[in-house]
Structure 1
Amino acid sequence: MRTPPLRFAGAVLAGAVLTGCTGTGPPESTAPSATPTPAYALTPRPVRPGERPVNAPPVTDGDTRFQVIGLQTGLRGFFGTHAEWQAKGQYVVVRIVVENPGRANSRFDAKRQKLITADGTAHGIDRFAQAIKRQPDTLPLGAEVRIELDLWFDIPEEAKAAAVQLFGDPPLGVGGSTDGVKVPLT
């Protein structure tokens, strides 16, 4: 049988524990407020001559984040640093931002990227145009690295660019390839 002082002590202890769990805290006016995440203040750049801006949201495929930012269509030819080259049909140039948001290295492979025309046909990059315009074939992307580059496609003259299908690097430890993600160009 318990003595009254022990029962009283137990009741006081239980009351203290329960009061501490009620969730009451400082008044709202003194509670800390959320601090917004700071952002880089990047200076806007003018769109390049002949290019149209594309306002597509970023997309992710595997361990790679992409954003399409510019488009040129109907180019008959171009000048490189050491050559002039004509399209078999028309050149379409898609300007993209490629980013590795992860903590491990990943790899960008331009040869995997596809331009989808209105008839549903997928076109690979024109490797010769990529080389003349000094755009990379493959590129290691370090952790949290972000780059911009052009993808050059030579498509039939009458074809209309509808979308670009972008392929990233599979997550670390995952074999095979990714399915890609389509970004509309209209």
Structure 2
Amino acid sequence: MRRALIAGLSLLTAATAACSGGDDPPRYDTPARTARPSETPLPYRETRLGELAYTVMAVRTGIKEVIGSHGSIPAEGQYVRVRLLIDNRGRDRHQFVPSRQTLVTADGRAHRPDHDAMSVSRAVTGAQTLAREERRELDLWFEIPAAATVRALRITGDTTSSALGDQVSGAPADTARTVDIPL
């Protein structure tokens, strides 16, 4: 009996040591993904707003037409597609509303997502709820003047905290409800 107990403890110790991986937390082994045609992948730069982390993965400018499975729509200027990664780092659900986001051009103008382009491309619309520790990728479509250049994606989001200490103390949400991500 004693020999079996020692063998079991040795096995458990070895398994625990193998799983710990030292100081680095374990990571998912996900394969690299190929960028879509004519898309410019951007370096990974994470921007936080409240408990949500945002990363612009890629941008494509100069799109002349959005083509979907049920129709197409030509641009009066140009369409811009921004691929966005959102990661909820909090314990509670958080809202992300695609229609509140804006694309800022070099002249300082802010452009809302184009409803028609979002519909034709079957992009997400309406408030999106991100669950605890959920990660989601989505496209935002904008129409801007043909000669305009993009400067930043302005994120407007949920800045509430799910930290128990903040909830117990009634700490106010962060007052900065927007953040610009340079493109």
- Shorter-normalised TM-score: what interval? 0.7 to 0.9
The code of the aligned residue for 1:180 comes to: T
Which of 121, 140, 143 does residue 151 from structure 1 map onto? 140
Q: 1:50 to 1:177 in 2, by over 3 A?
A: farther
Structure 1 residue 63: deviation in Å?
2.6
The residue number in structure 1 matching 2:18 is none
Higher mean alpha-carbon deviation, 169-178 vs 73-82, is at 169-178
**Alignment map for 1:105-184 (pairs within 5 Å):** 105-137=93-125, 138-172=127-161, 174=172, 178-184=176-182
**How far, CA to CA, are the matches of 1:184 and 1:35 in structure 2?**
32
- Name the aligned partner's letter for residue 142 of structure 1: A
Question: In the alignment, what sits opposite 1:98?
Answer: 86
Deviations along 1:151-184, one digit per CA (max 9) or x if unpaired, are 1000000100111111221214757975311111
Provide the C-alpha distance between the structure 2 equivalents of 1:176 and 1:36, rounded to a whole number of angstroms: 30
Q: What is the rounded CA distance, in whole Å, between the counterparts of 2:49 and 2:81 in structure 1?
A: 21
Q: Displaced runs of 4+ in structure 1, greater than 4 A?
A: 172-178
Aligned residue pair count: 153
Structure 1 unaligned residues grouped into runs of 5+? 1-32
Structure 2: segments with no counterpart, 5+ residues: 1-20, 162-166
Q: CA RMSD in A?
A: 1.9
Q: What is the Cα deviation at residue 131 of structure 1?
A: 1.6
Matched AA of 2:124: P
Aligned twin of 2:73: 85
Name the SS for the 2:70 alignment partner: coil
- In the TM superposition, what whole-angstrom CA distance separates every residue of 1:113-167 from its partner, at most 9, and x where no partner exists? 1101011111111012112211112211100010101110000001001111112
In structure 2, what is the Cα distance between the partners aligned to 1:116 and 1:128? 19
Question: Once the 2 structures are TM-superposed, how far is the Cα of residue 62 of structure 1 from its aligned partner?
Answer: 2.1
Looking at structure 2, the residues matched to 150 and 184 of structure 1 have their Cα atoms a distance apart, in angstroms, of 17
Return the index of the structure with the highest Cα Rg. Answer: 1
SS at structure 2 position matched to 1:129: helix
Separation (CA, whole Å) in 2 of partners of 1:180 and 1:40 = 30
Q: Percent identity?
A: 35
TM-score computed with the length of structure 1 as normaliser: 0.77
CA distance in 2: counterparts of 1:86 and 1:156, whole angstroms: 13
How big is each residue's C-alpha offset from its partner over 1:78-136, in whole Å with a ceiling of 9 and x where there is no partner? 21110111112100011010111111011110011110101111111101211221111
Structure 2 counterpart of 1:21 = none
